[in-house]
Structure 1
Amino acid sequence: MTESRDWPAKLDPIVEEFSACFDSMERYELLFQYAKRNPSPLPQEEWSEGNQVHGCQSRAHVSCSLDEDGNFVLRGGADAQIVQGLIAITSIAVNGMTPSYVSEMSPLFAEEMGIKSSLTPSRANGFLNMFKRVQDEASMLAGGN
């Protein structure tokens, strides 16, 4: 993590892109674009009760694993484009990082991007529930409790 922020440097261009938006509608449009190009989708046929994110307004599912080099891999899917976009950005942030790094990463990038203030309270809470779920799974994959 860097001295000035608690997220990977690879998120900086995305944070800047969202920060340059004039309003919530422009941020939503960007989220929709990220939803369409999700780098690590989780196909609906792999959605299950075991990988569902509880406390999320829409149906959201995440699957966390390690690649052959021991780096974190997040795959996710949701039935709402806004949530799918949030999962896509989170995937960009965490994929390829160590599970220890992911377990300690802060979700503050969402505030810095202006996304959190653009979301309804229930969607903002759902994002935090999804992020916490990813952190918990990263901790388990790192050998934590």
Structure 2
Amino acid sequence: MHQCPHCSTTERQTKAGRTRTGSQRYKCRECQRVYTPEPKPLGYPEETRREAVRLYLEGTNFRRIGRVLEVNHQSVVNWINSYHAALPEASQAVDKPETLEMDELFTFVGSKKRKPTSSPSLTEKRGASLRGRSVRHGRRS
């Protein structure tokens, strides 16, 4: 049987449910206190956190890391942010190059065309009048 950490008795111990993490709780009948003899730690193991950081540095996104490690993606975000905050500041000054070579690249991506509207314009309608004049399609007689 388990020993009560408060009164040190080993007799009259009864089960009293479980904790959030699944550890068995006991109640001492002598001092009426509830205790957990071997509590499980809260949170995820450190190796899971390191694996999440390693996957992130390889370019994996937060949600995929969460699926792979079977943890919530927001936990992964919090771990990455805490590791980033723990990194030392980069104090190395970057040397500026004396010569810099650049190439120009011009790419035409699209055109500025008018988007079609849901209703046809006045000139597209058959027999529509435009400022009092009739617009007709087809041959003139």
Structure with the bigger percentage of helix: 1
**Which interval holds the TM-score relative to the shorter structure?**
under 0.3
For normalisation by structure 1, the TM-score amounts to: 0.23
Task: Say which structure, 1 or 2, has more relative contact order (CA 8 Å, 6+ apart).
Answer: 1
Given the two structures, how large is their TM-score scaled by the length of structure 2? 0.24
